[in-house]
Each structure stands twice: as C-alpha cells, then as structure tokens.
Structure 1
C-alpha cells in the first residue's frame, strides 16, 4: 500500500494545475468523511480520492485507464486501481461496485458544483454556502454546465444516500478543509 505522501507526490508530479489539484483534494475530503461514516479505512479511501484524476492533464484522451495502468505497473493495490477506473465508467468500461468505488463516483462531480457555487458567491467562502443555495444552482442548467447532474443523482443512488443529504455531507467535508481547497473566502467564520 502506498503512503499518503507517496500518493501526494505522484499526484503533484503528474498534475501541474492548481485547480485540478484542488479538485482532487476536495474529492479526498469527501472520501475521508465517507470512510469515517461507513467505518472504512480512511487512508485508503483518501488516497483513492487524491489520485483519481492524476492522469487527466497528461493523458486526457485515455483517462482514467492510462493512470490506472500506471498505478498497476507501480504495484498499487487492486482496490485503488479499480476505484480509479470505476470513477469514470463511461470512459473505462468499469462500473463502480464496491462501497469505496461508489463513494468515489458519487463524490467526483458534486465537488465541482460546490466549488463553482463558491466562486460566484460575493464572499467566495464555502462557509456561507448552504444546501438550499446548491439546490438552486443544481436546477439551473446554465450554471456549471460541465457538471453532469445525472452523474450526481446516480452517484447518490449508488451510494444509497438521498441526493440532498449527500450534497450536504460533501459540502460539510469540503468546509472542514476550506483553507487547503482555497474556498475559505476573504475571512474565515468568526474572524
């Protein structure tokens, strides 16, 4: 099993874009929270979230398979390699089956919507964002067009969590890691 630091080093080596790194940190935050909720291994789930898109910038045409093949060649555990493939079944042909795979699939798209919603807030703070506000953004098809709403719905369903409970859960996970995600706004709450 690779260490978290090894996964972080690999992700940084393959991902020069700070925005993509922050996306992977956001998915990692959601995965850590779900691992705690389900009583699973937090480090393994965090690593899966951290590296799920690490090959996107180098190999967008073969993502996630190119990255998963690389992890396999490095001797990474099959559960992480398969989770990386299963987070994008439409590209890899691998459907999310295990709880970790379903959590990764469910967390990926919604973090993008949450991040986009923070960027248009006057205070640019995730701490003032609410599920009610996210519902409005979710329904507005012109907002964050790149976020696949059906994937978000399917992810919650695969995870066995009601959609807005899932959205609120991921929002809270991201709020807890707001500084690293660059989403704390001009001032943190209580300042």
Structure 2
C-alpha cells in the first residue's frame, strides 16, 4: 500500500473537504512522529490518512471504524494499518499496543482542536499559532466543545508525550501542509 493508493481510497469514500483536511492533518502529525521516533514514515502516514475514510458512510459509533475494516482489507490494506484504525476508537475494544496505534489515538482529536483555534485567530493561520494559544482556548469549555479534552490529555499520556509538547509537535507537523488544509491564512511560512 502506497500513499497514492491510500489517497484513492480517501477520494472514493470522502467528499467533505473538512474531513479530508482532518485526515491530511492526522497524516502529517503521524509522519512527524514517525520521523522523530525512527519509525516507518510511510506506514504511519498512510495510517493517519486512512483512519477516518469511512466516516461519511458509517457516521455512527456502531459502525465507525469497524464497518470500514472489511473495505480496507478488500483493498489490500495491511492488517497492521487496519488494526491501528480500529484501535483509534475506544468503543471498538481493540487495545492500543503498538507505538503507531498510540500515536494515531494521540494525533486524531488534537488536530481538530488545533484547527479550531487557528481558524478563530485574526491570521486564520498555523504559522503564528503556539501551544500557549491552544492552552488558552483549552480552558474555555464552550470553545470547540466537541473536542474531548479528557481524551486528548489521556491520549498524549498514553503515547508518552507531555500534553503541551504534543500540541506544539502537532502544530509543527500541520504547518508543513498548512496551504493544503486551508490553514495558511494570510501569513507566509517562517523559515523554521
């Protein structure tokens, strides 16, 4: 399975641009951590890219992601990726054992909160976003109320990364693809 094949699966099943942006953001975060931890960057990236491919056709906890697993298997997606996708949802009962599984869980929900914070900034950009800005919004429970803060904190802890370091890492990862996910805003990337 290569990225192009994974992207074709995404394009087949996902029409919502924001969902595609979310999946690309998770892919970027997964690639970042794979590089940092000396893991298989392609494997981790493809796992992030595919993790929510079935959300539009299976938009309930009774179906997502477990009803998507047979579709992935039928398309030749390696079992290691399928298992990680199953493990990213607590309700499936699939325990997160590998670092990749823990990384996917840790990167999923936080990308949504980071996106929400970036979009309310005057710049509408990731380029000037910091973990401190996310931390301020974190305390406002009414802001991005759908972002499960307890799950985000637990996922970072399970992955073994301090929460605000994790937020900074994911922001850094998402900056790499800011134009692709609509979060360049009115700024240019700095030369980090």
Contact 1:24 1:51 in 2 (8 A): yes
Q: In the aligned structure 1, how far is the partner of 2:189 from the partner of 2:51?
A: 31
User: 1:74 aligned to 2:75?
Assistant: yes
| Pairs within 5 Å for 1:120-139 | 120-139=120-139
Measured after TM superposition, the shift of residue 175 of structure 1 is 1.0
**Partner of 1:177: helix, strand, or coil?**
coil
Please give the TM-score of this superposition, normalised by the length of structure 2: 0.95
Please give the TM-score of this superposition, normalised by the length of structure 1: 0.95
Task: Determine the structure 1 residue equivalent to 2:54.
Answer: 55
Measured after TM superposition, the shift of residue 75 of structure 1 is 2.9
Measured after TM superposition, the shift of residue 179 of structure 1 is 0.9
Task: Determine the structure 1 residue equivalent to 2:184.
Answer: 184
Q: Which runs of 5+ in 2 are unaligned?
A: none
Segment drifting more, 43-52 vs 69-78 = 69-78
Q: In the aligned structure 1, how far is the partner of 2:187 from the partner of 2:167?
A: 24
User: 1:11 aligned to 2:25?
Assistant: no
Q: In the aligned structure 2, how far is the partner of 1:96 from the partner of 1:48?
A: 14
Q: In the aligned structure 2, how far is the partner of 1:71 from the partner of 1:99?
A: 21
The ranges of structure 1 where at least 4 consecutive aligned residues each deviate by more than 4 angstroms after the TM superposition are: none
User: 1:159 aligned to 2:159?
Assistant: yes
Measured after TM superposition, the shift of residue 60 of structure 1 is 1.1
Contact 2:127 2:187 in 1 (8 A): no
Q: In the aligned structure 2, how far is the partner of 1:75 from the partner of 1:89?
A: 25
Q: Which runs of 5+ in 1 are unaligned?
A: none
Measured after TM superposition, the shift of residue 124 of structure 1 is 0.4
1:80-104: per-residue Cα shift (whole Å, max 9, x none)?
Answer: 00011011122x1212111000000
The CA RMSD measured in Å over matched residues stands at: 1.0
User: 1:41 aligned to 2:40?
Assistant: yes
Number of residue pairs matched by the alignment: 188
